[in-house]
């Protein structure tokens, strides 16, 4: 990777994603786009429906392009996009990042994106590859890195799998209660996976969202069993 981040290269990618066409949804008030979630864009004087005409769309894009032009902090360019497109931005812009800057922005994208384990544009296998290539001390803040260093050589981990979520995701935890919460996030039909992790396989540890997330590829979790809820495990 580069020794220094190419901010101009990042801006070119940001502009490309900004001008991607809008995809309509079944709801009139929601659109699919890296920047716009609603067709209604507010400027200082009026409300514009960016679906009304190409001119309206370009007017809204021009305002965001000014933000891109004025941004000099690489990480802030990612925040121009909707969180569900953070990893997509990194996919297209990776060649312009330095190793340390990419590690920092990757960790932020991972913890801020709502469902990084189910990103349709960036498969979890690609995210795992990125994490493996990043220096761990750059991925984590000081507190997280200290916790990672203190992990035992092997330990129990849990993954709460809610309805519609990826059972082979990389987000695991040492906290059973936390896994159970995620398993029931969208209803009672979720479940918990229990397994054994080895420190040598851990990609990162994140606690910045008040979650004790152990990042590890599902294939590197051993002796996995599935349980319905925490009470079942306690009963065993």
Is residue 125 located within the same domain as residue 15? yes
Would the pLDDT of 44 be above 80? no
2 found inside a domain: no
pLDDT in tens, 21-41: 999 888 889 999 999 999 998
Contact between 115 and 70 under an 8 Å Cβ cutoff? The reply is: no
Residue range 120-143: mean pLDDT, rounded: 96
Does residue 153 share a domain with residue 126? no
When pLDDT is cut at 50, 70 and 90, the band that residue 231 belongs to is low
Q: Is residue 76 part of a domain?
A: yes
Q: Which of 138, 168, 203 is the endpoint of a domain?
A: 138
Domain assignment present for residue 1? The answer is: no
Q: Which of 120, 138, 156 is the last residue of a domain?
A: 138
Number of structural domains in the chain: 2
Which residues form the domain of 116? Answer: 7-138
pLDDT higher than threshold 90 for residue 235: no
133-182, pLDDT tens digit by residue? 999 999 999 999 999 999 999 999 999 999 888 999 999 999 999 999 99
One domain for residues 150 and 70: no
Q: CB burial class (10 A; 0-12, 13-18, 19+) of residue 10?
A: buried
Residues 95 and 121 in one domain: yes
Same domain (yes/no): 211, 102: no
77 compared with 187, residue with greater pLDDT: 77
Question: Which band of pLDDT confidence, cut at 50, 70 and 90, is reported for residue 64?
Answer: very high
Are residues 175 and 58 part of one domain? no
pLDDT at residue number 124 = 96
What average pLDDT does the structure give for the chain? 93
The pLDDT of residue 183: 92
* 41 and 117 housed in the same domain: yes
Q: Would the pLDDT of 204 be above 90?
A: yes
Q: Which residue, 138, 164, 188, sits at the end of a domain?
A: 138
The yes-or-no verdict on residue 120 having pLDDT over 90 is yes
């Amino acid at each position: 990777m580069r020794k220094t981040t190419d901010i101009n290269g990042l801006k070119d990618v940001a502009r490309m994603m900004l001008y991607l066409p809008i995809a309509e949804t079944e709801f009139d008030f929601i659109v699919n786009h890296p920047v716009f979630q609603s067709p209604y864009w507010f400027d200082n004087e009026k409300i514009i429906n960016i679906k009304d005409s190409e001119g309206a769309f370009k007017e809204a894009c021009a305002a965001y392009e000014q933000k891109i032009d004025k941004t000099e902090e690489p990480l802030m360019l990612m925040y121009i996009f909707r969180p569900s497109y953070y990893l997509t931005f990194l996919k297209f812009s990776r060649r312009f990042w330095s190793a340390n800057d990419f590690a920092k922005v990757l960790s932020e994208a991972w913890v801020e994106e709502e469902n990084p384990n189910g990103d349709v544009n960036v498969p979890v296998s690609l995210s795992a590859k990125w994490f493996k290539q990043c220096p761990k001390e750059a991925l984590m803040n000081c507190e997280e890195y200290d916790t990672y260093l203190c992990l035992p050589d092997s330990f129990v981990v849990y993954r709460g799998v809610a309805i519609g979520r990826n059972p082979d995701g990389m987000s695991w935890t040492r906290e059973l209660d936390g896994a159970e919460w995620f398993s029931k996030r969208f209803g009672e039909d979720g479940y918990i996976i229990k397994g054994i992790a080895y420190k040598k396989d851990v990609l990162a540890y994140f606690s910045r969202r008040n979650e004790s997330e152990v990042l590890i590829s599902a294939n590197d979790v051993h002796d996995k069993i599935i349980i319905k809820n925490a009470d079942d495990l306690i009963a065993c």
